[in-house]
């Protein structure tokens, strides 16, 4: 069955450093992959989408890579700030009307 793995352990980093989050998937080949941010008690918010033919996508301090050979996406936040503290979810897609999410990685950025 399709499986998505994100680091279950929280990631703690110092303000100003680059945070790198990993999303691995198995048993399918998504046409694209989305990343969402979720704050406590709130619904996820869409951040970025990267397509299978794109190696890298950037948006302000965010960068996403998509390696279809490794079946992995990396999500980077450069010059991280305490306001970046949240849970980040990946969602490989292209499978029609169903959307499958990873369990998410909790990021803490210390001032």
Q: Give contact residues for other proteins (rule: CB under 8 A).
A: 4, 8, 31-32, 34, 36, 41-46, 49, 51, 89, 93-104
State in angstroms the smallest separation of the CB of 10 from other proteins: 13
Closest CA to 9 of 109, 108, 110, 105: 105
Q: Are 37 and 47 in contact (CB under 8 A)?
A: yes
- Least CB distance from residue 41 to other proteins, whole Å? 7
CB of 45 to other proteins, least distance (A): 7
Neighbours of 102 (CB within 10 A): 24
Q: Which is nearer to other proteins, 8 or 14 (CB)?
A: 8
| Smaller CB separation from other proteins, 34 or 85 | 34
Q: Is 82 helix (H, G, I), strand (E, B) or coil?
A: helix
User: DSSP class of residue 83?
Assistant: G
């Amino acid at each position: 069955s399709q499986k998505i793995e994100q680091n279950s352990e929280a990631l703690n980093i110092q303000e100003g450093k680059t945070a790198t989050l990993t999303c691995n998937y198995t048993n399918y080949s998504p046409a694209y992959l989305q990343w969402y941010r979720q704050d406590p008690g709130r619904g996820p918010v869409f951040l970025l989408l990267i397509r299978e033919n794109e190696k890298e996508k950037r948006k302000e301090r965010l960068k996403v890579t998509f390696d279809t050979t490794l079946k992995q996406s990396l999500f980077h936040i450069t010059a991280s700030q305490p306001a970046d503290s949240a849970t980040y979810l990946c969602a490989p897609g292209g499978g029609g009307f169903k959307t499958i999410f990873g369990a998410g990685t909790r990021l803490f950025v210390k001032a």
